A = this chain, B = another copy of it.
Amino acid sequence: MTNTIKDVAKKANVSIATVSRILNDQGGYSEKTKFKVLKVIEELGYQPNAVARGLINKRTHTIGVLFPKLSSSLVTDLLDGIEKAANDNGSSVIVCHTESNGEKTMKYLQLLIEKRVDGIIFASEILKEEYYQFVAKTKMPIILLSTESYAYPVPFVKVNDFHAAYAAAKYLIGKGHTKIGMISGKKDDIIAGIPRIEGFKKALSDHGISLGSENVVFSRGFAFPDGIEGLKKLIGQFPDVTAIFAASDEMAIGALSAAYQLGIKVPDEISVMGYDNLNLAEMSIPPLTTVGQPLAKMGEAAAEMLFTIMETGEIPESRIMPHRIIERMSVKERKK
């Protein structure tokens, strides 16, 4: 069995209180005792039991993160930031993979609550009423990451999707394009779907570019195959298109692939722009021009907001993180 504070106390001929004090640097002991105790700790290879500490301190130094899926670099980059901030604050992170499944999500939420994590980060997904009520009841701190709630007062950190999409379309217009299409994600996704579509449309109409139903193609999701299909469909309904804005990098890369298959040269014949700035984006042929979200920073911010809540008890303000156009090689200036 592993040694406990009792074993240390006994072997050092002091009380457990003294050992505890030394462990927590609280003062109230002589240098001599400290030295003696530390020596015994060393000899015994004693490791304080964080579970017992958590029970009494009501602080587990653990936060929980819920993701709809794990295998995507979008998630990984967010996680990277979360983990970094957590580590800097002496906390660990438990990852939960919900598969966008309501039952699984509830199960995980319950698990995290039972484990008494210090807070929860809920990422990249709609916060359903059921979820919200469940955690609100426990008063556990929660932050939304890369998503937001219109119905509940939960602080979030994300990019402004409308503005970012607007900026992307504007960039394309600035490059001389007027026949611009969009491969959008899910039409009814109120976080990553609608705002990007609306931002795109607004940019076109603000710049006097006419726009019909042929300009936008809808998909089932935001993945690679959706981009392949998207491009084919778009070319079919809008043959004049010279530039395409895809609602995710994976879709943009799918579009690149489809274009290649069809013998369409990017960016010479068609320009393609993505959204996310995943690692992928610099590895594609040609490297993808895209609108970047500072994913790692967003993850960090979310975790830090959680720590703020724990320390101050105050609910922090939501944070809109800046997006940025990342210019690479997939968009070409179009001569008039």
Contacts and interface: CB of A to CB of B under 8 A. Distances in A.
A285 B282 contact: no
A286 B257 CA distance: 8
Contacts of A94: 62, 92-95
Interface residues of A, number: 56
A283 B253 contact: yes
A8 B317 CA distance: 37
B60 A71 contact: no
A111 B94 CA distance: 13
Interface in A38-92: 45, 47-52, 54-55, 60, 62, 64, 70-73, 75-77, 79-80, 83-84, 87, 92
A138 B49 CA distance: 12
Interface in A71-130: 71-73, 75-77, 79-80, 83-84, 87, 92-97, 110-116
Contacts of A48: 114
A89 to B, nearest CB: 12
Contacts of A2: 138
Nearest to A72: B76
A29 interface: no
Given A79-B95, A83-B97, A71 B279 contact: yes
A254 interface: yes
B116 A49 contact: yes
A137 interface: yes
B80 A97 contact: yes
15 contacts: A45-B138, A47-B113, A47-B114, A49-B55, A50-B115, A64-B92, A71-B76, A72-B73, A79-B95, A83-B95, A83-B97, A87-B97, A93-B94, A93-B95, A250-B283
Identify the 8 closest CB pairs spanning chains A and B, nearest first. Answer: A50-B114, A70-B80, A50-B115, A71-B76, A51-B54, A92-B94, A71-B80, A83-B97
Interface of A: 2, 45, 47-52, 54-55, 60, 62, 64, 70-73, 75-77, 79-80, 83-84, 87, 92-97, 110-116, 137-138, 224, 250, 253-254, 256-257, 260, 279-280, 282-287, 296
